[in-house]
Amino acid sequence: MKALIIVDVQNDFVDGGTLAVPGGTEIVPVINALQANGHYDYVVATQDLHPANHGSFADNHEGKLPGETVNLSGLDQILWPTHCVAKTAGADFVDDLHQDNWDAIFPKGTDARIDSYSGFFDNGKLKATGLGKYLKENGVNEVHVVGLATDYCVKFTALDAAELGFQTILIQDACRGVNLQDGDVARAITQMKENGVRIVDTGMLLKGAVV
């Protein structure tokens, strides 16, 4: 069984959002084409969903700016602009993204004291979101990961998927990265490859060239 995991394609991560990932809007039609292909037994999405007082927001640390690092519950935490606050439009999925065929949605980052880049676990791996259990219970053995951002939530989702034993494919052109530091996306791709994640393009999949 194959699942498509759509990571954090939410208004705050695309053009006009508070943490807009460059080119983020461009992946929406690509992901829609992948969903329409009928290739997947399951389509699931993750949703970055923070309380307003979340510890990853620079606004919640006096005198700190986005891009700076603090200690949050014992872990190094990069500070971000306030984003994906629950019950705000920024946390909603992008309107043009087809959502009618989704099987499940997994929220993450809901605890103010801990961030959660991966769709499977929070950053300290204290709690699971339920995504891994859901996929295993449904007999999924292969996952394809797409979404935002390549160098954060997509990367950690793909790494955890591989570690959990799923055959894991990253569909490179259906993702975009933040590139806080030059080369972050390229390094993320290398790290995923080194950990057993296969890197492909949408064109290869739609042609049936990925087996």
Which spans of this chain sit near ligand VGL (rule: CB under 6 A)? Answer: 8, 13, 48, 80, 148-149, 152-153
Of 108, 115, 151, 155, which is the active-site residue? 108
Is 175 a catalytic site residue?
no
Smallest gap from Cβ 155 to ligand VGL, in A, equals: 8
Is 15 a catalytic site residue?
no
CB 164 within 8 A of CB 132: yes
The yes or no reply on residue 48 touching Zn ion (CB under 5 A) is yes
Which among Zn ion, ligand VGL, none contacts residue 132 (Cβ within 5 to 8 A by kind)? none
The reply to whether omega before 149 is within 30° of 0 (cis) is: yes
Smallest gap from Cβ 79 to ligand VGL, in A, equals: 10
Which among Zn ion, ligand VGL, none contacts residue 12 (Cβ within 5 to 8 A by kind)? none
Of 153, 155, 160, 175, which is the active-site residue? 153
Smallest gap from Cβ 7 to ligand VGL, in A, equals: 6
Do strands 167-176 and 42-48 pair parallel, antiparallel, or not at all (unpaired)? Answer: unpaired
Q: Which is nearer to Zn ion, 88 or 138 (CB)?
A: 88
Smallest gap from Cβ 13 to ligand VGL, in A, equals: 6
Is 84 a catalytic site residue?
no
Which among ligand VGL, Zn ion, none contacts residue 149 (Cβ within 5 to 8 A by kind)? ligand VGL
Q: Is the dihedral angle over the CA atoms 169, 132, 19, 61 positive or is it negative?
A: negative
Active site residues: 8, 108, 153
